[in-house]
Structure 1
């Protein structure tokens, strides 16, 4: 009779396996992604072969994911929270942690006209895409700092989406980084538009941000304050400074962490016990507490892509009015089309979740797109009626 102790039964981490397979990756491909993310995040990581073996052990349950570096790599690769991937196995971050980890999503739109969008679809390696039930195309673009996808919408707008993983010490650190990154992004997108369309074309006029917080360093009211500050980062900076002072910004942040921070222009769409979600004129910030019960990051990204595209279209129409010209739009994109798009954005769908409805309404309100759409619709309708009267 053998006296050998039975081997413990290990529990497979089916979530890790499903996430990897959903990407279409083998373990070697995931290890290569870890290698790339490690460089981007400035992490000291093992060799690719060692990480591939670790991935096998994590998936089969031979070892649990307790190393903070692997937690960060998995969360960044799969765009999920620690709770979603590991349940209670990953230690909860606390306010004494040196860093917090988030993904920066930047959106930068430019109006080029329907004909140009159609021409680019024929000359670039694009793929058909659906964003918020709207048909468009997308293509990956090489970017010096992050992952960039260019979207083309048939009403004449291009939208750049630039995604970067970040590890920062404080919200002040993010604010200083963003202050410097916006001019760089505008210059880069301007040069890219010129490379596509010729030197006379101008690029996007602004950049909008959405921050997805994977692993915060705060708890309780301090986490609420941090999420609100991510939507109002200029509050931490000296106005007019070309080179903002990070030490000064951190002092301001510390005061807000002690006393709290609120602003009536920052609107909330999180759900108690599930997520923190805030939106303002300049940013959106979201942190899921309960994994799959929260909104997926791509849901917020997709909605912002369509919002920025329609904002760009409305701005194009109103710019013509402000220049003293009657608005000109391509066939098929008149006030009736815009009325349909407005209805699609503003009305709830039968199977739409309450969280998605809250996110959509909040972003529409904080961005003032609802008012922008209504005003543009009236402009186009009035112009169409005057043209009809002139024909009579």
Structure 2
């Protein structure tokens, strides 16, 4: 990168401003609604404001980190709209560079969608996916354009496609991350569904859920606070209230809950902790994963976590499809080569330790399998498929 590019930040992935996003979502406003509020406040404060469409675009650029909030007019408008000081809005997260009080992490979103063998073949051809593998499983893989970050698509031969979206974030607290997660989950599911429908020419693909894993690389916490923060990162939803139909969950409320839990501690029986003291901290829950490599050279690599979740989510989605068919009163129909004997082999591969597997990797795998309940899903799917053919 040239010195000019380094000075302007060109070539770096923008970091979303979760403070602004969280404040807007706490009001229950979309970006267009906030732009209209700016227009109203501009008249009230006797400010010369840009056109409405220009302000909506500026809000998008500010929130996504593509532009810093430097124009004094926008500083006044944001402060008036959110009833906050410049320090509260821009003091901890403005240009995308994390200070010592911020939390730097990589958000990994996994979005599995069941397609079936025919639509999967169409997708592989139209998306120009190439042969690849995830651990022991063959698949097809390719990069996908996504406005928020680096996205790859994995097509597994048992009829499941999994998007992996990686986004670099710098957040002032876990409460802001929890609100951002809640909002972007809806957006990500909608984007994945529309993308697959367009590529396959079918209206049947539906992204039902998103699972997140957070890889922490800059921690503002230490000691017991760090342990508590890692548990909260694996289950950030516990910080949010229900909100109302008009407004979403309150950021202020979430911040108060976070402060209380960091002070008093947070433990939940649904969280399985893994890692080695002094090397890493890992937490797995039904909602997601969090991992902090304290000794980067000896801890798990990011690819270990990604590959584990890709495979788990692809198999979980496949089992869910089998259960769906049964619950609809139908005999489950699957490709012959991916029947109950294949599931039995997969279950053995996942649950039995490999000779060359490290203790850290084995602990992560066990925690993910336990909290996702994939082992139970595989066993149930195996029995349903075997019962269908009378064996």
Query: What is the CA-CA distance between 1:144 and the residue it aligns to?
Result: 1.5
Other-structure match for 1:137: 140
Matched residue SS, 1:143: coil
- C-alpha distance in structure 1 between counterparts of 2:8 and 2:114, whole Å: 34
Query: What is the CA-CA distance between 1:98 and the residue it aligns to?
Result: 2.4
Contact 2:13-2:149 within 8 A present in 1 as well: no
Contact 2:126-2:199 within 8 A present in 1 as well: no
- C-alpha distance in structure 2 between counterparts of 1:34 and 1:285, whole Å: 28
Query: What is the CA-CA distance between 1:371 and the residue it aligns to?
Result: 0.5
Query: What is the CA-CA distance between 1:38 and the residue it aligns to?
Result: 5.3
Match of 1:224 among 201, 224, 227: 227
Other-structure match for 2:15: 40
Would you say 1:165 and 2:168 are equivalent positions? yes
Other-structure match for 1:118: 121
- C-alpha distance in structure 2 between counterparts of 1:27 and 1:383, whole Å: 63
Would you say 1:283 and 2:288 are equivalent positions? yes
Match of 2:195 among 186, 192, 196: 192
The correspondence of residues 1-392 of structure 1 with structure 2, limited to 5 A, is 35-37=10-12, 39-40=14-15, 42=65, 97-239=100-242, 241=244, 243-385=248-390
- C-alpha distance in structure 1 between counterparts of 2:379 and 2:126, whole Å: 35
- C-alpha distance in structure 2 between counterparts of 1:43 and 1:144, whole Å: 11
- C-alpha distance in structure 2 between counterparts of 1:126 and 1:178, whole Å: 28
Report the CA distance shift for 1:36/1:257 in structure 2 as closer, same or farther (over 3 A).
same
Comparing 231-240 and 261-270, the one that deviates more: 231-240
CA displacement 1:230-255 (0-9 Å, x = unmatched): 11211110035451111110000000
Matched residue SS, 2:283: strand
In structure 2, runs of 5+ residues without a counterpart are 17-64, 69-95
Report the CA distance shift for 1:369/1:385 in structure 2 as closer, same or farther (over 3 A).
same
Comparing 254-263 and 200-209, the one that deviates more: 200-209
Matched residue SS, 1:326: coil
Query: What is the CA-CA distance between 1:270 and the residue it aligns to?
Result: 1.4
CA displacement 1:319-346 (0-9 Å, x = unmatched): 0000000111112011001111111111
Contact 1:110-1:159 within 8 A present in 2 as well: yes
- C-alpha distance in structure 1 between counterparts of 2:199 and 2:114, whole Å: 13
- C-alpha distance in structure 2 between counterparts of 1:237 and 1:177, whole Å: 11
- C-alpha distance in structure 2 between counterparts of 1:36 and 1:327, whole Å: 49
Contact 2:279-2:295 within 8 A present in 1 as well: yes
Query: What is the CA-CA distance between 1:202 and the residue it aligns to?
Result: 3.1
**Number of matched residues?**
314
Matched residue SS, 1:287: strand
Instruction: Say what the alpha-carbon RMSD is for the aligned residues.
Output: 2.5
Comparing 235-244 and 340-349, the one that deviates more: 235-244
TM-score between the two structures when normalised by the length of structure 2: 0.76
Matched residue SS, 1:332: helix
TM-score between the two structures when normalised by the length of structure 1: 0.75
In structure 1, runs of 5+ residues without a counterpart are 1-25, 46-71, 77-92, 387-392
Report the CA distance shift for 1:188/1:345 in structure 2 as closer, same or farther (over 3 A).
same
